[in-house]
Amino acid sequence: MFRLTNKVAVVTGAGSGIGAAIATLFGRQDAHVVALDVSGSAAAATADGIVAAGGSAEPLACDVADAEAVSRAFERIAASRRRVDILVNNAGIAHVGTIEQTTEADLDRLYRVNVKGVYLCARAAVRLMLDQGGGVILNMASIASLVGVADRFAYSMTKGAVLTMTMSIAIDYVKQHIRCNCICPARIHTPFVDAYVARHYAGREQEILRQLSAYQPIGRMGTPEEVAYLALYLCSDEAAFVTGQAYPIDGGVLVA
């Protein structure tokens, strides 16, 4: 079950964190993984790890917010692989602050990556999937697209857009055999979290990490690998009847 044999999977933001975990797991499940990241070296590190473990992968440097760069990337994939069976729109950036603490530049920066980036990559993938007779798109939303999260004004705005884009793509292309779902994680313990805490709370790292863990009733943050397993199900043929859905993976936040 859950094999991705002969499938081409493009994972954005694959250089670290959740994206790297998804790309690595998909590689283990026999997909050919295109590890796409704004950092070419980070993309290469993920792809090299997949290949070293016996899988098939290639790195591709791309800024998902740059329309021309996205077009070139998907043209390259189409030329070499002839298809894109799976797109995981994982690339994203974070921001902490209320509306008063969010500058216009902050809002534009988050919109550019978290919303426009998803739009550009999904549009490029849909065009290929229509020609090949179907495919799967999985977007990374957030628990912040389902409930209010304090001090996350701009981030919540972008993830709400990801949720509604997911529903729109699902309903517009269901007859063309393109499925589209999204995952809504609560706090996931990634290198970004550790770096943010170290930068802003020097000397209080363990206290802040405990606070971040306590937000989830289960008492801890999730792991990138746990998100990856949910992504594998939603992108596999076993989920062929699932489209237009938002899947929380939140340690009990929504039931608290």
CATH number of the domain within which 76 lies: 3.40.50.720
Looking at the structure, tell me whether residues 34 and 102 fall in a common domain: yes
Distance CA 196, CA 173 (A): 39
Specify if 250 maps to a domain.
no
pLDDT for the residue numbered 62: 98
Please, what is the average pLDDT of the chain? 97
Distance CA 219, CA 14 (A): 27
Looking at the structure, tell me whether residues 28 and 135 fall in a common domain: yes
Specify if 14 maps to a domain.
yes
Least confident among 56-65, 111-120, 199-208: 199-208
Looking at the structure, tell me whether residues 208 and 143 fall in a common domain: no
Least confident among 35-39, 87-91, 193-197, 228-232: 193-197
Residues 6 or more apart from 20 whose CB is under 8 A from it? Answer: 14, 35, 46, 224
The domain in which residue 235 lies consists of 8-186+225-245
CB of 35 within 8 A of CB of 11? yes
Residue 86, phi then psi, degrees to nearest 5: -135, 135
* Residue 45: Cβ-neighbour burial (10 angstroms; 0-12, 13-18, 19+): middle
pLDDT for the residue numbered 192: 87
Structure tokens at 58: 């290639």
Tens digits of per-residue pLDDT, 112-125? Answer: 999 999 999 999 99
Which positions are annotated as active-site residues? 155
